[in-house]
């Protein structure tokens, strides 16, 4: 571990520059031709599948349904490999028109395949409940049973086959096209920092907000605002269009509210989600209490929005790529050698793309791809301690995907509400390792502050962002196209509820809603972060209580993927997700960490 000036945006070593993923296994090393070959096979098999089963689903017995689902699984694997290859290439180079064209080709062909298979979903929904359950209970049908049971929850909202075909076909030139445009615009955005000749990416500029120098933070924030200005109206128009597109889709399907479709996908009731949101909003005093303490730690009367992520340490700890890798692998391996060995494969077999590059998508993610392949992790590694925790987080997603791969294409992924369980757990493992190594109250305070701010960002800020989405979707449906200023006003309103009187919102911050991709890509997504974080903290608390005896149950839960309902997955590790007090228990864990930080601040002589 080394200590460098916070203004240095270069990686701590040259090694990270060569950490690039190898996508060849997805297409047998054939590149774009492999993509086109997979899609051609998929189209041929989809046509044959439709000829064999269209109009005949009600005639199948349990064995016949199993044969059909086996064919569908193989077909999804073919198309999934092609789609994963194109989307992952696009993620690391959104500026190359040829890669964008390949992604568009995949989306168009995949949609055509999807529309040819729509009959299956619709005929399955038409079967009586008793008949459907009889088919699902057949021996050997476990690899798709939960998936098809959950699909039947959409029965009230499905349209006729011709209507479904139209919506699917038009989606490529509708929502998908606007989403791709937004991604390209944001990846091309560059920020001119004060006193620097060369522009930097948005990701690099935002990283400066965690630095110790307030003037530098203010300058970076103002530079980000300036960079966002030229395209603000365009991004607002994209958002307006997608808001209306979703409103039309929801109206045609008779969804009762804007969030119902997302809740169905998450296997969560509208009531349970509202209970989560209400529980978190009722504890906005926690982040406000932290921000007031942080103002004292930073020696200012009141935080500005650009101070929220600032380090409370005088130095900015940096980690070389090798240091980060070994720290994370040691933490995973100490939990269980099996998990450590699995995590090491991501490094040894080129499943990670780590460096910051021009045109690369910002942030970090893990792509599950398909069960017959393996997951891939994208990072933008700038050598900060936060990046080490991000690596641990995304590897949690990765090992979750790898452990659940034997469940097959229908059950590998969990609903979004459980998708963060392994990632937050892995991040917490590494955080614990860092905290144990902290030798002084000051170093403990620095670490605890990062953890608290991570929880605030994931639980409280994401809930505030959910409230913004609630406001913006409602306003768009009631008022029509919204002016740029109204986006900013609703963003400010929902952020003020979060910050209370602890943080000053600057004029520039009112436009920062416009770079957040989740609002564009996946409406209603963000509350799942709060759900997943609180669930993962509860899972980690069970580990603290039970020790090594907890490990088999935890691995069993990860290996189950999405083959069980969320409540059943929770029971595997001794948690009752239906308990009304469940959210309060998770929030209490965050408050406990805040109390530890307050004690460390006193011990360090900072307050």
Per residue in 195-250, pLDDT (tens digit) is 899 999 998 999 899 888 999 999 999 999 999 999 999 999 999 999 999 999 99
**Minimal CA–CA distance to 459: which of 305, 276, 274?**
276
Residue 505 predicted with pLDDT over 90: yes
Within-domain flag for 466: no
Q: Is 114 exposed, middle or buried (0-12, 13-18, 19+ CB in 10 A)?
A: middle
Residue 490: half-sphere exposure toward Cβ, Cα within 13 Å = 19
Within-domain flag for 198: no
Q: How many CB atoms lie within 10 A of CB 78?
A: 22
Rounded CA gap, 521 and 170, in Å? 17
Within-domain flag for 213: no
- What pTM value is reported for the model? 0.82
Mean pLDDT of 511-532: 94
Please give the residue range of the domain that contains residue 64: 26-179
Q: 7-16, 429-438, 581-590: which has the minimum mean pLDDT?
A: 7-16
Within-domain flag for 98: yes
pLDDT at 12: 46
> What average pLDDT does the structure give for the chain?
93
What tens digit of pLDDT does each residue of 406-444 get? 999 999 999 988 988 999 999 999 999 998 888 889 888
Residue 11 predicted with pLDDT over 70: no
CB under 8 Å to 370, separation ≥6 — which residues?
A: 76, 77, 80, 81, 84, 409
Percentages (nearest 5) of helix, strand, coil residues in the chain: 70, 5, 25
User: How many independent structural domains does the chain possess?
Assistant: 1
Mean pLDDT of 75-81: 97
Q: Is 348 exposed, middle or buried (0-12, 13-18, 19+ CB in 10 A)?
A: exposed
Within-domain flag for 251: no
What tens digit of pLDDT does each residue of 130-177 get? 999 999 999 999 999 999 999 999 999 999 999 999 999 899 899 999
Q: What is the CATH number of the domain that holds 48?
A: 1.20.140.70
pLDDT at 315: 63
Within-domain flag for 245: no
Within-domain flag for 233: no
Within-domain flag for 565: no
What tens digit of pLDDT does each residue of 350-386 get? 999 999 999 999 889 999 999 999 999 999 999 988 8
pLDDT at 10: 44
């Amino acid at each position: 571990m080394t200590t460098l000036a916070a203004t240095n945006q270069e990686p701590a070593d040259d090694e990270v520059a060569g950490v690039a993923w190898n996508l060849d296994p997805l297409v047998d090393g054939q590149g774009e031709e492999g993509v086109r070959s997979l899609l051609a096979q998929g189209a041929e098999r989809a046509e044959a599948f439709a000829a064999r089963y269209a109009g005949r689903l009600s005639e199948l017995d349990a064995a016949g349904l199993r044969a059909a689902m086996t064919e569908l699984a193989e077909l999804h694997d073919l198309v999934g490999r092609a789609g994963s290859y194109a989307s992952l290439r696009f993620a690391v180079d959104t500026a190359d028109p040829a890669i964008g064209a390949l992604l568009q080709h995949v989306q168009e062909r995949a949609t055509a395949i999807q529309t040819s298979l729509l009959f299956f979903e619709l005929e399955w929904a038409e079967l009586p409940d008793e008949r459907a359950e009889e088919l699902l209970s057949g021996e050997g049908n476990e690899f798709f049973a939960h998936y098809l049971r959950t699909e039947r929850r959409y029965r009230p909202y499905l349209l006729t086959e011709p209507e479904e075909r139209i919506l699917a076909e038009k989606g490529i030139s509708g929502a998908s096209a606007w989403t791709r445009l937004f991604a390209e615009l944001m990846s091309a955005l560059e920020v001119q920092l004060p006193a620097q000749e060369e522009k930097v990416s948005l990701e690099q500029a935002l990283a400066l907000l965690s630095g110790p120098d307030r003037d530098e933070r203010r300058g970076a924030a103002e530079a980000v605002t300036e960079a966002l200005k030229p395209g603000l109206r365009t991004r607002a128009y994209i958002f307006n269009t997608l808001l209306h597109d979703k409103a039309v889709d929801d109206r045609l399907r008779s969804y009762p509210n804007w969030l119902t479709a997302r809740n169905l996908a998450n296997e969560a009731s509208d009531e349970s989600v509202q209970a989560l949101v209400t529980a978190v909003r009722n504890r906005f005093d926690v982040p406000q209490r932290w921000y007031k303490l942080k103002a004292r730690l930073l020696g200012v009367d009141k935080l500005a929005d650009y101070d929220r992520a600032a380090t409370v340490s005088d130095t900015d700890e940096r980690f070389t790529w090798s240091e980060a890798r070994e720290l994370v692998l040691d933490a995973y391996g100490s939990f269980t050698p099996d998990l450590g060995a699995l995590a090491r494969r991501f490094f040894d077999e080129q499943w990670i793309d780590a460096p910051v590059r021009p045109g690369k998508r910002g942030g970090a993610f893990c792509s599950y791809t398909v069960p017959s392949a393996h997951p891939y992790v994208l990072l933008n590694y700038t050598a900060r301690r936060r990046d080490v925790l991000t690596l641990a987080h995304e590897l949690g997603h990765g090992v979750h995907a790898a452990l659940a791969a034997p469940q097959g294409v229908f059950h590998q992924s969990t609903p979004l509400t459980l998708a963060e369980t392994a990632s937050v757990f892995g991040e917490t493992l590494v955080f614990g390792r860092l905290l144990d190594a902290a030798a002084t109250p000051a170093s403990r305070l620095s670490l605890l502050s990062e953890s608290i701010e991570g929880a605030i960002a994931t639980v409280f800020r994401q809930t505030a962002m959910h409230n913004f989405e609630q406001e913006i979707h409602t306003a768009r449906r009631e008022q029509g196209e919204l002016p740029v200023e109204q986006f900013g006003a609703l963003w400010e309103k929902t952020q003020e509820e979060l910050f209370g009187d602890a943080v000053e919102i600057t004029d520039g911050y009112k436009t920062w809603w416009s770079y957040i991709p989740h609002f564009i890509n996946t409406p209603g997504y963000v509350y799942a972060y709060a759900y997943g974080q609180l669930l993962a903290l509860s899972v980690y608390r069970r580990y603290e209580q039970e020790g090594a005896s907890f490990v088999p149950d935890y691995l069993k839960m990860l290996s189950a993927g999405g083959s069980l309902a969320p409540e059943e997955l929770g029971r595997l590790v001794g948690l009752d997700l239906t308990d009304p007090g469940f959210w309060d228990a998770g929030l209490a864990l965050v408050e406990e960490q805040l109390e530890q930080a307050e004690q460390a601040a006193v011990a360090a002589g900072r307050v």
